[in-house]
């Protein structure tokens, strides 16, 4: 074989290797900045402008970091991702007439939102609306000014929600067709066997048009278990904390509230429906229209709650010595 033939084969091999080479993978970490540009690669030195632009260039299970203060726009999340502001200033999502953040990811995808200020400007729909995800964490956020719900957790498959150190206030301004919009709604959809687990720790739910927190099992035959700890629900037009289930599916709802306060709401704790129950321990329930209210349901008290100075205090249906 001549040198000419060898050189020719080398060139052909090099060409084929270039053609067969995979496209560059998306980065696992991207950045947004108040002075960024979505035409950029979203690197730290050339950040993007919006969350939507950054997520489109971030690999699944990657992370979008906030580089400096700014308004980063509404976004629909369809993959596992973390959006994180670790104290660089206000990371704003300002919207009008739409949802702030919509999550419609895979059934096993984990989505984390940290350090965001989500403002509906009194015309937005829902602050964070979850249609599907394996798990969602909302950590150190502020969510306010939405016509419907601040957090609208209504997945169509089994899912988990965690809210930590977050203020959710002044939501539900339109009241809605049924008058049930407010600060936080947790309601599994999709009918058969949708199971929901949620925990709220150090969460403030203030001045909702109707509920501070409503846990609703009417749209699934599954079980919805929600635990609230060290939290405050104040000034809500409906119940501070509500556990309910009804037709068409009458799923099981178990709401546990520990070391929390309900003040100046329509109800402090309300439970309705034969398959719904609320368990209260170490609560302060004061200044409400009704302290505790039940309808064909149960509120189980550990016996260490302070329920007084309500227009009507009400009475828990059961007292348990177990904490």
- The mean per-residue pLDDT over the stretch 159-171 comes to 98
Q: Please check whether residue 15 lies inside any domain of the structure.
A: no
Q: Please check whether residue 53 lies inside any domain of the structure.
A: no
Q: pLDDT digits over 35-92, tens only?
A: 999 999 999 999 999 999 999 999 999 999 999 999 999 999 999 999 999 999 999 9
C-alpha distances in angstroms, 80 versus 100, 105, 134? 18, 7, 9
Q: Please check whether residue 6 lies inside any domain of the structure.
A: no
Tally of domains within the chain? 1
Q: Please check whether residue 13 lies inside any domain of the structure.
A: no
The pLDDT score that the predictor gives to residue 9 is 42
Q: Please check whether residue 238 lies inside any domain of the structure.
A: yes
Whichever domain contains 247, its CATH number is 2.160.20.10
Q: Which residues, other chains included, contact 56 with Cβ-Cβ below 8 Å and sequence gap of 6+?
A: none
Is the pLDDT score of 193 beyond 90? no
The pLDDT score that the predictor gives to residue 12 is 40
User: Which structural domain, as residue segments, surrounds residue 276?
Assistant: 65-319
Q: Please check whether residue 279 lies inside any domain of the structure.
A: yes
Q: Please check whether residue 1 lies inside any domain of the structure.
A: no
Q: Please check whether residue 39 lies inside any domain of the structure.
A: no
């Amino acid at each position: 074989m001549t040198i000419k033939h060898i050189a020719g084969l080398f060139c052909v091999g090099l060409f084929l290797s270039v053609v067969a080479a995979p496209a560059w993978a998306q980065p696992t970490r991207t950045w947004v900045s108040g002075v960024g540009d979505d035409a950029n690669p979203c690197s730290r030195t050339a950040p993007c402008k919006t969350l939507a632009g950054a997520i489109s260039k971030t690999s699944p299970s990657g992370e979008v970091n906030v580089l400096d203060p700014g308004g980063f726009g509404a976004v629909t999340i369809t993959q596992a991702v973390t959006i994180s502001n670790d104290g660089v200033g206000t990371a704003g999502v300002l919207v009008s007439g739409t949802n702030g953040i919509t999550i419609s990811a895979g059934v096993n995808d984990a989505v984390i939102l940290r350090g965001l200020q989500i403002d509906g400007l009194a015309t937005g729909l829902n602050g964070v609306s979850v249609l599907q995800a394996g798990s969602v964490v909302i950590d150190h956020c502020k969510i306010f000014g939405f016509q419907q719900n601040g957090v609208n957790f209504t997945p169509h498959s089994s899912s988990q929600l965690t809210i930590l150190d977050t203020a959710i206030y002044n939501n539900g301004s339109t009241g809605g067709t049924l008058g049930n919009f407010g600060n936080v709604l947790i309601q599994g959809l999709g009918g058969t066997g949708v199971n929901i687990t949620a925990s709220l720790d150090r969460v403030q739910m203030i001045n909702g048009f109707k509920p501070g927190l409503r846990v609703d099992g009417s749209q699934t035959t599954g079980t919805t278990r929600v635990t609230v700890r060290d939290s405050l629900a104040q000034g809500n037009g409906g119940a501070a904390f509500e556990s309910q289930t009804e037709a068409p599916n009458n799923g099981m709802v178990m709401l546990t509230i520990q070391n929390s306060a309900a003040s100046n709401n329509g109800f402090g704790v309300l439970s309705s429906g034969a398959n719904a129950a609320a368990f209260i321990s170490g609560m302060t329930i004061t200044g409400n229209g009704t302290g505790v209210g039940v309808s064909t349901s149960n509120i189980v008290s550990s016996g260490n709650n302070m329920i007084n100075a309500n227009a009507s205090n009400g009475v828990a249906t059961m007292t348990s010595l177990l904490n």
